[in-house]
Chain A
């Protein structure tokens, strides 16, 4: 079984975290990414809730893959996802009402997060439960990292705090625009630019190295 084969399991997990990162590489699930990342705490809670729904629904979809008729599979997936989202929605309401109010309708909107339906259709429907759940966990982790990197930047610049703790002195003038809607677009755009630049630099470095190796 795959579980005994550690490197492969690890690869499966890391694929979602890095190579196929849902936020920065596949640009999926943009609505919650931009809407709830006004602070790091919101970003983490949203990421974890989405990851939980993702793992649970991918597991169930995968277990039911042999009994699901092909014609109605999307409807089946949607109902499965909606069930888990309802559970998470009520759980968050029970754990922290303040958090529930901060995330608002976006918890229920996890249902229409394209990452989950995409994973169910592209991976879980074709693989046994264990690899499907590992893949889902990787995607969930990648999504959480994506949200967190936006949330941290927006909270530091927009409010001068991180996880609610003040970073700068009283003289700090917050960039209010960063916690307003346009800030979300700008920060995500800036991250994408940064990753494009990183990719470019890696390519440029690899070429001279290869040339140098030839000379030696």
Chain B
């Protein structure tokens, strides 16, 4: 792999934004983007889980490859992700109970966030080395947070504007996401 760490980061953050270009993690993107106050912590929590999951997945993949057990990859990745979400939950509960309550149900749902599993699967498929994997997952997480924060800001403004009844709700969010995605396409080719 000849990609430099910086290219991987820019690609994951902007040009191939996880949410807007690769369609990963859409459920929290549509679900939690109503308010800016919850969108940002959610993005940070997801980024943290991504980093932990990526680190574990990297080690695990070495182990599985050594024993030729590649068919167990998916099952073991998902178990690792579930445990790291549990870990984040316990850490948050101990050190920041307020944030823990604010995130509520969305915290355990990070387990089924396809962006997290996507990071683990893509870094394996692209054969990234250790540094590349970590940079990739950090860029992806930052891109996820960016998309979530942008979407939440636009939606907060929209609650004050006069929208036709028919388009209220998810249809409106999807149209918004489409326009955001359109503008993110302007970054294509940035990462070389």
Contacts and interface: CB of A to CB of B under 8 A. Distances in A.
Contact of B166 (A74, A86, A193): A193
Contacts of A32: 23
Contacts of B114: 31, 109, 112-113
A67 to B, nearest CB: 20
Across the A-B interface, the 7 shortest Cβ-Cβ residue pairs: A185-B178, A189-B174, A35-B23, A30-B26, A192-B171, A182-B181, A182-B182
Contacts of B166: 193, 196-197, 200
Contacts of B75: 79, 82-83, 86
B20 interface: yes
A111 B174 contact: no
10 contacts: A27-B30, A30-B23, A31-B23, A31-B114, A34-B26, A78-B78, A89-B74, A108-B74, A109-B117, A117-B112
B70 to A, nearest CB: 10
Interface stretch (B57-65, B87-95, B118-126, B129-137): B118-126
Interface in A110-124: 111-114, 117
A188 interface: yes
Given A105-B121, A186-B178, A34 B23 contact: yes
Interface of A: 27-28, 30-32, 34-35, 74-75, 78-79, 82-83, 85-86, 89-90, 105, 108-109, 111-114, 117, 177, 180-186, 188-189, 192-193, 196-197, 200
Contacts of A117: 112
Nearest to A27: B170
Contacts of A184: 23, 178
A111 B71 contact: no
B72 to A, nearest CB: 8
Given A112-B114, A117-B112, A189 B175 contact: yes
- Interface magnitude class on chain B: 35 or more
B171 A30 contact: no
B11 interface: no
B25 interface: yes
B179 A86 contact: no
A85 B78 CA distance: 12
A109 B124 CA distance: 14
A182 B112 contact: no
B102 interface: no
A182 B185 contact: yes
Nearest to A188: B174
B154 interface: no
A181 B174 contact: no
Given A85-B74, A86-B74, A181-B22, 20 more contacts: A27-B170, A30-B26, A31-B24, A31-B25, A74-B111, A78-B78, A82-B74, A83-B75, A90-B71, A105-B122, A105-B125, A112-B78, A114-B112, A181-B21, A181-B185, A184-B23, A185-B177, A186-B175, A188-B174, A193-B171
